[in-house]
Structure 1
């Protein structure tokens, strides 16, 4: 499998995954034109896409979904509650391009095995995605305030983790957000902090050279440097060699990562 983070953050999210027989997006939270340009920058034409999977209806994940579907006749894959929630914002979609799944039940699309995993977020019915093909496994887990033991068990053994490190706790507490919004961000249905992210990775990583992207960073309550430092320092404190056991990067807010082949 090949993987690229096209953009990640509150200003828009989109991931690209390629297998032997499939090319698809997880989320399209930017304009259709912007996503086309981002794909082009990694040598991929939008018309080559086979489908788009949506994690939840918030516009930073769904803004370009309808436009891309209509422009390139792309199926959209989402659960029933997410379809209802984004129905008025993404525009008219052809019936044959509406694919509905049940969260926590495996689905198969082309040569890709997909597990949409229920997560904790203040949306209609948000999911993370576990994607497997040809013995490789990618886990995409953002926009959740909590990672349960059941969720950890499902993502364990991944070759690549795309995991939320949304905020630095001190920056959030001392920052400009009103108290109600701070409570929402740090709550069960909000977002993972840097240290939350580190704790999850500490349990998941096996020291087998896994790829890790710290993702969905808050522009107001975090910095790439803080996120990376917090996670790396924690992993080193539990004995992990972060220079060799795993490769950890921060997903850029506006620009694509390199196209990684697993």
Structure 2
């Protein structure tokens, strides 16, 4: 069995993703309540008792809300870099020293045959990262909370079989929205979030013959719509000469209120 995954939730209301290779199963972020994560995992036919580890991208509440309680309940080791530990320690409660694992940015760890590698991203957090997962030649990359698509990010996630990519906001909806200007400026900045147009531009460089599917993730509830995100990304790609084959669309949705179906990375 190769890599499989489900995005339990994605967006400002909470983020969590399960990745498995059939032997080992890990959770990336725990930005929903412990009760909600348990509920969503049950919906997907799995339990926290099956997890081997919990990885953290950064310390913002929509990524760590249920982290401490969930990790303590299932006695899970938490992997995060030093900056993230420093930013989140006072928010996650007491973590046993043996469960507090520092994973340096750029480090690769092995869980059975599954390799987990972190890479640096640009976001207004202490030391934010994304993660890639590789197993028997299959590659899954998680890339959200990106202020912009840096060369380091491109290098880390290119040639992914499946990519979970941020498409956070429609720029005009954001500019016309109800947020105060200082928050809008933060979201639009190089340490904010990737827009629909920026996601499309990034995919023009990232899509290869190997890429099977791209999940658009971390959509704003106030300043985006999934149909709009998909249309914008597709239009940007077509404007750059990249056209999908007839009846073939690699773009897939994620949801803030329900999981994505389990997906096999190797599936065509």
**TM-score, with structure 1 as normaliser:** 0.96
Asked if 1:249 is matched to 2:252, the reply is yes
Task: Give the counterpart of 2:217 among 191, 196, 215.
Answer: 215
Contact kept, 8 Å, 1:164 with 1:192, in 2: the verdict is: yes
SS for the counterpart of 2:250 is strand
Q: What's the counterpart of residue 153 of structure 1? A: 155
Q: What's the counterpart of residue 59 of structure 2? A: 57
User: Structure 2 regions of 5+ residues with no counterpart?
Assistant: none
Task: Give the counterpart of 1:173 among 149, 172, 175.
Answer: 175
Q: What's the counterpart of residue 115 of structure 1? A: 117
Compute the RMSD of aligned alpha carbons.
1.4
SS for the counterpart of 1:154 is helix
Contact kept, 8 Å, 1:5 with 1:14, in 2: the verdict is: yes
For the structure 1 residues 246 and 105, does the alpha-carbon distance in structure 2 shift closer, same or farther, using more than 3 Å as the test?
Answer: farther
SS for the counterpart of 2:57 is coil
Per-residue deviation, 1:219? 1.0
For the structure 1 residues 8 and 93, does the alpha-carbon distance in structure 2 shift closer, same or farther, using more than 3 Å as the test?
Answer: same
After superposition, residues 108-147 of structure 1 pair within 5 angstroms as: 108-147=110-149
Contact kept, 8 Å, 2:82 with 2:104, in 1: the verdict is: yes
Contact kept, 8 Å, 1:232 with 1:242, in 2: the verdict is: no
4+ residue runs of structure 1 moved beyond 3 angstroms?
242-246
User: Structure 1 regions of 5+ residues with no counterpart?
Assistant: none
Asked if 1:68 is matched to 2:45, the reply is no
Contact kept, 8 Å, 1:235 with 1:242, in 2: the verdict is: no
Q: What's the counterpart of residue 86 of structure 1? A: 88
